[in-house]
Amino acid sequence: MVSCKSCGNAFEGNYCNQCGEKVLVPADRSLRTLLNTIARAITFADNKFVYTLGLMLRKPGFVSAEFAEGRRVKYLPPISVFFVLNLIYFFFPLIQLFNASLNTQLLSLFGGWLRGPLTTAVLQQGVNLETFTLLYNLKTVGLAKLMVMLFVLLASLPLNVLYRKSNRYFTDHVDYMVEVACFNLFVNAIVLTLIINLTGLGSQVNELTLTILFIMTNLYFLIRSGYTFYTESSWRLVIKSVLMIGLMKLALEVYRLILFFLTIWTM
Ligand SMILES: [Zn+2]
């Protein structure tokens, strides 16, 4: 029996059965092990991130299903994949997804509701609209980074109703929506930003082309992942997927509405 260095639990073997702490052996402290660790960290050889993200793209819904069924050690938790992608996205949040500039806010579904509070906020700041817009856009990016989980939670709510007979728990629906959000961040925000910048197609990308692209890619992802994760099929799957696209759009608008008010209240 050894006593765990982290939690004090007495156990046998190389890993604590309470907290998972590894028993250090002399080899763990060797230069060779150190160099191996550094090499792995640099080359991504042991990188579960790339592996898990790759699976999300090739087999939509598979990682969520593995997680829900308790096969987890092979993958980076989807929530971690999500936060890494967010980190990348918020370096250049050009595509208005979880970030929403003042202009995007005013053109959104609830844009009409925002004009009154906006006018009040501009007056309170005592600056002109251009200066206010600059300050607003800086402030809202910071908040959006913290708030993005709210979108996932909101968007996962309808799944509890649409797939109530699916034998999935509330937290499984949230995990699944995290995977949907990962797909969107990677394909519709990061890769799309790269393509637009590398090809110089920026002038041809407008709201309409973006919306069509979002609908097509999400329809593809929701149908494939719904089949895998909820074992739904045929016309029910198609109808539920179309419904989910509308409900995800609604969740995004509600998220942006909350983001707007948080931004002007904290400015
Ligand atoms: Zn322990």
Structure tokens at 108: 């959104």
Q: How far is the CA of 11 from the centre of ligand 1 (A)?
A: 9
pLDDT digits (tens, 9 = 90+) for 79-95: 999 999 998 888 887 78
Q: 140, 100 in Cβ contact below 8 A? A: yes
Q: How far is the CA of 30 from the centre of ligand 1 (A)?
A: 23
Q: How far is the CA of 4 from the centre of ligand 1 (A)?
A: 5
Q: 111, 146 in Cβ contact below 8 A? A: no
Structure tokens at 258: 């909350």
Give the whole-angstrom CA distance, residue 242 versus residue 221.
Answer: 11
Q: How far is the CA of 3 from the centre of ligand 1 (A)?
A: 8
Written as one letter, the residue type at 169 is Y
pLDDT (mean) for 145-160: 93
Q: Which pLDDT score, from 0 to 100, does residue 44 have?
A: 59
pLDDT (mean) for 216-225: 96
Residues with CB under 5 A from ligand 1 (ion): 4, 6-7, 9, 16, 18-19, 21
Q: How far is the CA of 151 from the centre of ligand 1 (A)?
A: 35
Q: What value does the CA radius of gyration of the chain take, rounded to a whole number of Å?
A: 22
Q: How far is the CA of 29 from the centre of ligand 1 (A)?
A: 20
Q: How far is the CA of 2 from the centre of ligand 1 (A)?
A: 10
Q: Which pLDDT score, from 0 to 100, does residue 70 have?
A: 92
First and final C-alpha spacing in the chain: 57
Q: How far is the CA of 9 from the centre of ligand 1 (A)?
A: 5
Q: How far is the CA of 7 from the centre of ligand 1 (A)?
A: 4
Q: 154, 57 in Cβ contact below 8 A? A: no
Q: How far is the CA of 6 from the centre of ligand 1 (A)?
A: 5
Q: How far is the CA of 8 from the centre of ligand 1 (A)?
A: 6
Q: In this structure, how many other beta carbons lie within 10 angstroms of the beta carbon of residue 22?
A: 12
Q: How far is the CA of 27 from the centre of ligand 1 (A)?
A: 20
Q: How far is the CA of 22 from the centre of ligand 1 (A)?
A: 8
Question: What share of the chain has pLDDT > 90, as a percent?
Answer: 66
pLDDT (mean) for 22-29: 89
Q: How far is the CA of 16 from the centre of ligand 1 (A)?
A: 5
97-101 long-range Cβ contacts below 8 angstroms, 24+ apart: 97/184, 97/185, 97/188, 97/189, 97/252, 98/144, 98/147, 98/148, 98/151, 98/185, 98/255, 99/140, 99/141, 99/144, 100/140, 100/144, 100/256, 100/259, 100/260, 101/133, 101/136, 101/137, 101/140
Q: How far is the CA of 14 from the centre of ligand 1 (A)?
A: 11
pLDDT at 45 over 60: no
pTM score of the predicted model? 0.84
What are the Cα distances from residue 187, in Å, to 4, 72, 115? Answer: 43, 24, 32
pLDDT digits (tens, 9 = 90+) for 101-125: 999 899 888 888 999 999 999 999 8
